[in-house]
Amino acid sequence: MSEMKRIDRRVALKWISSAAASMPLIGSGQDASSDSAKAPGGKGYGPDPDLQRVYQPGDLWPLTFSDAQRATMIVLCDLIMPTDDTSPSASSLGVHDFVDEWISSPYPGQKTDRNAILKGLDWLDEEAGRQGEKDFVSLDGNAQFAICRDLSILAKKDRKAFPGSFFRRLRDLIAGGYYTTPEGMKDLGYRGNVAVAEWTGPPPEVLAKLGLEPQA
């Protein structure tokens, strides 16, 4: 089999800005058909979470994905954010668990995402069936990529029309989850707050870019 094409990692940077936005993705009356689209359980983390505790997926509310849905999400994560010469793949950083936790949270802002993602996963398996396979995971890599490519084209034509809208939101969530991990921040070149022994002011190249002169 010829080598499967990959989505350029740098293209994903264009998607991250909308990762936190809960936009309407499907028309009215188009609810997810999966049984797991029912209202999520749990009460959330409340106004005063324990900041000393390291929470794991599923600690605060029940997760949604079945084993089959989780397997599909792992494939999608690595189609959208594959490993490259400098950075790991999205699934190796647990981004599929982030998506599961996001759509499982009992907050109104995630309801639209929950319906869209679950409906989209169902659609992917139906499309695989039309291609003679039992589900999306069973397709070969080239066929999986081709479906994602076609969905991205649909998303550009009409950001609100399903199933392209599903893929647009999925990309945003995966990119957002990826670039908020330490490895993702490193890939961006983001250093964060780093302790220094002495503060000498902004770097000269930054001042030059802003057209400013170093202060004496």
81-138 confidence digits (pLDDT tens): 999 888 899 999 999 999 999 999 988 889 899 999 999 999 999 999 999 999 999 9
Q: What is the pTM of this model?
A: 0.73
Domain ranges of the chain: 9-210
**Of 188, 193, 147, nearest in space to 170 by CA:** 147
15-61 confidence digits (pLDDT tens): 444 443 433 333 333 444 444 456 677 777 777 777 788 777 788 88
Q: How far apart, in whole angstroms, are the C-alpha atoms of residue 137 and residue 151?
A: 17
Whether 71 shows a pLDDT value over 60: the answer reads yes
Instruction: Give me the pLDDT at residue 216, please.
Output: 62
Percentage of the residues of the chain whose pLDDT score is greater than 90: 49
